[in-house]
Amino acid sequence: MTTVLGLRCRECSRLFPDEALHVCDFCFGPLEVNYDYDAIAALTTRASIAQGPRSIWRYANLLPVADENPVSLGAGFTPLVRAERLGAELGLKDLWIKDDTANPTGSFKDRVVSVALTKARQLGFKVAACASTGNLANSVAAHAARAGMSSMVLIPSNLEQAKILMTTVYGGEVIAVDGTYDDVNRLCAELTSERPSWAFVNVNVRSYYAEGSKTLAFEIAEQLGWQAPDHVVVPIASGSQLTKIAKGFKELSLVGLLDGEPSVRISGAQAKGCSPVATAFEKNIDAIAPVKPDTIAKSLAIGNPADGYYALDAIRTSGGSCGSVSDDEIIEGIKLLARTEGIFAETAGGVTIATLASLAQRGIIKPDERTVAIVSGHGLKTVEALAGHTAPTHIIAPTLDAFDKAVGFSDPNFQ
Amino acid sequence: MSVIIRVPTQLRQLTAGTGEITVEASTVGEALHALEASYPGFGERIFDEAGALRRFVNVFLADEDVRFLEGLATPVADGVTISIVPAVAGG
């Protein structure tokens, strides 16, 4: 059964029906799904969740669509791994990595797309569309193929090669736009008015789509034995993921799945070349000035973040922080995570790890805090970023003599 | 100057469904106020109490967000297109 009452404007609280609407027609504020939390609490226990599928759909009662057979490639229930070696390097004693590289198309976007297309199908849509920096493109193309829907994916033309191939291979329409992501997004916002029969996952069905990110909070709490962590570090592009993670922990408490009200500090991570939220945080102002992005972290290169205000609010009210890191630090972050934990992250993960390191060094994350860093996408998607930064340690002829000269036989690490 | 304003779905209830409106104006702000004069209801939707653009309303002059230009004071040339676009999209 559905637990959805309808939609409500986050700004002016006007109510709207449970349809493909994302913006209040009075004040342009975002519409949020309005749930019957009493009904969810009555339906949902830790045990009932444990009996569900090992995917985001185990939390279906807390998602905006009820469907016995959702559009799914198996998104979610990704590993939460204790990161002892990384923690030792950063001086953090209770560090965990939420490894969302393990999703079907290699990023957290599978969570939101599975929700969005299940809802879109229920609302009668036949076409799945999106504006994407790459990860969403991969996921929409794949899930649309799975669901037998047509896909119309719009991306900036300068994306990483893998992100383009991982979209086109599914056989849908892929429109490479000569412009930035913000240009593509604006085009899609206008196209939505002209093509109302298309489900733009992050435009007209965005209210539902965004809810999928709450499952990160749900899984983290469940995987920690139904306990919220003390601190979560989240990359910021539009700010939606961070906002919804904060909401997810609150909802778990609201429906009685956590003991007491959690107090989770939420910190944001941005690249210096695209840091509108971090800049507002550092200046201690509310206004978020849009920027023209210039960073290798293309999946976070949104200069005009739709949920920037709410992300900033979630950070401040939770007692978190927001940092930004350079492209060199991003590369070092990717290599540090790979070397210490065996997890290969895309550039956005490098942003998260480098920001985590910076916040730890500045004492903003305390050594004893139970801290979870969100690693949202796989490194195979952005291999160009590592060109010239990592290479074979030796290149030799296929002989013992050459091996001995290059490497020797006395390295204590290899005895 | 004669300028074209593109109206998003959410506001077309005010224009009887029309997506493009032509107005006379010399700045972006004048153009948006001219829209209010012809189609009452636009003003309270796109401007806040202080007369600034609401925070979830983006306005583009041709391809550029007016916040990268001179905001509502940005001059307009004859025949250009101004687009009103909801900010809540993407990501």
Contact A309 B45 (CB under 8 A): no
C-alpha span between A223 and A343 (Å, rounded): 19
Which of A8, A28, A136, A236 to substitute to test the interface with B, most B CBs within 10 Å?
Answer: A28
Contact A306 B89 (CB under 8 A): yes
Q: Where are the domains of chain B?
A: 2-86
Closest Cα partner for A192 from A236, A154, A138? A154
Q: In the prediction, which pLDDT does A409 show?
A: 76
Contacts with A22 from chain B: Cβ below 8 Å: 86, 88-89
Contact A185 B90 (CB under 8 A): yes
Residue whose tokens read 């001086």: A91
Structure-block tokens of residue A280: 């507002």
Which residues of chain A have a Cβ shorter than 8 Å from any chain B Cβ? 11, 22-30, 131, 179, 181-183, 185-186, 188-190, 192-194, 196, 200, 202-203, 206, 237-241, 289-290, 292, 302, 304-307, 309
C-alpha span between A348 and B73 (Å, rounded): 37
- pLDDT tens for chain B, 91 residues: list them: 999 999 999 999 999 999 999 999 999 999 999 999 999 999 999 999 999 999 999 999 998 999 999 999 999 999 999 999 999 999 9
Contact A131 B85 (CB under 8 A): no
> What is the edge-to-edge ordering of all strands in the sheet holding B20-24?
B20-24, B2-6, B81-86, B57-61, B64-65
Q: What are phi and psi of B27, to 5 degrees?
A: -135, 170
Q: How far is A307 from chain B (nearest CA, A)?
A: 7
Closest Cα partner for A162 from A372, A346, A398? A346
C-alpha span between A147 and A166 (Å, rounded): 17
Task: Give the chain B residue nearest A288 (alpha carbons).
Answer: B55
Helix (H) or strand (E) holding A222: helix A214-223
Of A28, A183, A238, the CB nearest to B56: A28
Q: Where are the domains of chain A?
A: 80-106+213-385
A71 and A118 in contact (C-beta within 8 Å)? yes
What is the per-residue DSSP string for chain B?
A: -EEEEE--GGGGGGTTT-SEEEEE-SBHHHHHHHHHHHSTTHHHHHB-TTSSBPTTEEEEETTEEGGGTTGGG-B--TT-EEEEEES----
Q: In the prediction, which pLDDT does A410 show?
A: 77
| B24-61 core/surface letters (b: 16 or more CB in 10 A; e: else) | ebebbbbbbbbbbeebeebeebbbeeeeebbbbbbbbb
Contact A190 B9 (CB under 8 A): no
Contact A28 B13 (CB under 8 A): no
C-alpha span between A148 and A294 (Å, rounded): 37
Using one digit for the tens of pLDDT, what is the confidence trace for A214-271?
Answer: 999 999 999 999 999 999 999 999 999 999 999 999 999 999 999 988 999 999 999 9
C-alpha span between A122 and A119 (Å, rounded): 5
- Positions of chain A with pLDDT lower than 70, given as ranges: 1
Q: In the prediction, which pLDDT does A2 show?
A: 82
Q: In the prediction, which pLDDT does A408 show?
A: 84
A142 and A105 in contact (C-beta within 8 Å)? yes
Q: In the prediction, which pLDDT does A320 show?
A: 98
Q: Is A129 helix (H, G, I), strand (E, B) or coil?
A: strand
The dihedral through the CA atoms of A64, B86, B67, B69 has a sign that is positive
Helices (H), A106-160: 109-122, 135-147
Q: Which of residues 2-21 of B touch A (CB under 8 A)?
A: 6, 8-13, 19
| ipTM attached to this prediction | 0.91
Q: How far is A278 from chain B (nearest CA, A)?
A: 17
Torsion of CA A167, A168, A172, A178, to 10 degrees: 90
Q: In the prediction, which pLDDT does B53 show?
A: 93
- Give the fold, CATH level 3, of B2-86: Ubiquitin-like (UB roll) (3.10.20)
Q: How far is A231 from chain B (nearest CA, A)?
A: 23
Q: In the prediction, which pLDDT does A327 show?
A: 98
A192 and A180 in contact (C-beta within 8 Å)? no
For the A80-106+213-385 domain, the top CATH level (class) is: alpha beta
C-alpha span between A130 and A199 (Å, rounded): 8
Contact A186 B57 (CB under 8 A): no
